[in-house]
Amino acid sequence: MESRAVLFDRTGGPEVLRLEKVTLAEPGPGEVLVRIDAIGLNRGEALFRSGGYWYEATLPGSRLGGEAAGEVVAVGPGVAEVAPGDAVSVLAVGTTMSGSGVYGDHAVVPASTLLPRPADMDALTGAAVWLSYLTAYGALVEVGKVAPGDHVVVTAASSSVGVAAIQIVAALGGVPVAVTRSADKEAQLRAAGAAHVLVADGGPDVAAKVREVTGDAGARIVLDSVAGPGLADLATLVARGGTLIVYGWLDPRPAPLPRNWPLNIWGYALYALVEDPEALRRGQAFVHAGLRDGTLAPLIDRTFDLEEIVEAHRHMEANGQVGKIVVTVRH
């Protein structure tokens, strides 16, 4: 079928993205054709586009995007779990972006990347919730075992994962300590549930300010997506028996190995949760329950039209956001 998709032929800045007419093949075995109504943007896609992600794009003509919401249009041979007309979210965390990226009005995706979208979940929420909240859930609950009263330091707190993490820690009775480089994000981070908002840039700066909050006891969990040279300072904030969970490299400079041993350091990837059916089921149940009782609610920073995809990526990389950037698709 004729469709429109965002493609790029070389790695680079947002300007390498172009919206083009493409011909989509019929879904093959295990695949599903999805009409895309809304797309959740993630920093990993900016890294993939610029060549700094954990796997490389197949060029030229790579697609982009791993998170969306829409409706099943057709299913390929052997697909029994969904049927045409089903409302779904797409959560693709494997190496599928170049071939089945969701930046477009339709995409053919593996059936295994689909999550059911309940009738009361609109496309905006369905595109904004899963990647951030399951990442934060897996890191904080499954790995960190956050408990009531725990201080949890969240760096890059205004990121979509950061806001999800703040809400999850608060919902479980913990004490979210949010770190941002931007003083003008303080009010929104407090409104999201942060008990403390620390405006700081870099490890030593962050460490000094966190100690004013936690004292010498430190934090049970430090959830960090910045890494870089400040990682060793962040590690000193972890209480004995606590965990430093690193899940990103927003600062791509080398990160020294922290030396305040004993220390638990966990390199977290959402993939580990998504490929474990029981853990994924627990994560979905946790997030659905939080959405129902209102303790979890994706914060939509800004929406763009699909035609504005270059501006949307520029906005993401300008670091002014608090929460999730969503692209909507008109049909």
Ligand X SMILES: NC(=O)c1ccc[n+]([C@@H]2O[C@H](COP(=O)([O-])OP(=O)(O)OC[C@H]3O[C@@H](n4cnc5c(N)ncnc54)[C@H](OP(=O)(O)O)[C@@H]3O)[C@@H](O)[C@H]2O)c1
The answer to whether residue 236 forms part of the interface with ligand X (CB under 6 A) is no
Stretches 95-103, 108-116, 213-221, 245-253: which one binds ligand X (CB under 6 A)? 245-253
Rounded-to-integer distance, Cα 175 and Cα 210, Å: 12
Query: Which positions from 99 through 158 interact with ligand X, judged by CB under 6 A?
Result: 131-132, 135, 156, 158
Place of tokens 């638990």: 264
| Single residue of 16, 207, 251, 326 touching ligand X by CB under 6 A | 251
Surface-to-core class of residue 229, CB atoms within 10 Å of its CB (0-12 exposed, 13-18 middle, 19+ buried): middle
Residue 46 Cβ vs ligand X, minimum distance, rounded to whole Å: 7
| Single residue of 64, 72, 161, 309 touching ligand X by CB under 6 A | 161
The answer to whether residue 42 forms part of the interface with ligand X (CB under 6 A) is yes
The answer to whether residue 14 forms part of the interface with ligand X (CB under 6 A) is no
| Single residue of 98, 100, 159, 188 touching ligand X by CB under 6 A | 159
Rounded-to-integer distance, Cα 171 and Cα 168, Å: 5
Query: Which positions from 262 through 291 interact with ligand X, judged by CB under 6 A?
Result: 268-270
The answer to whether residue 188 forms part of the interface with ligand X (CB under 6 A) is no
Q: Which amino acid would we find at residue 170?
A: A
The answer to whether residue 181 forms part of the interface with ligand X (CB under 6 A) is yes
Residues at the contact surface with ligand X, assessed by CB under 6 A: 42-44, 131-132, 135, 156, 158-161, 180-182, 185, 225-226, 247-248, 250-251, 268-270, 316, 319, 321
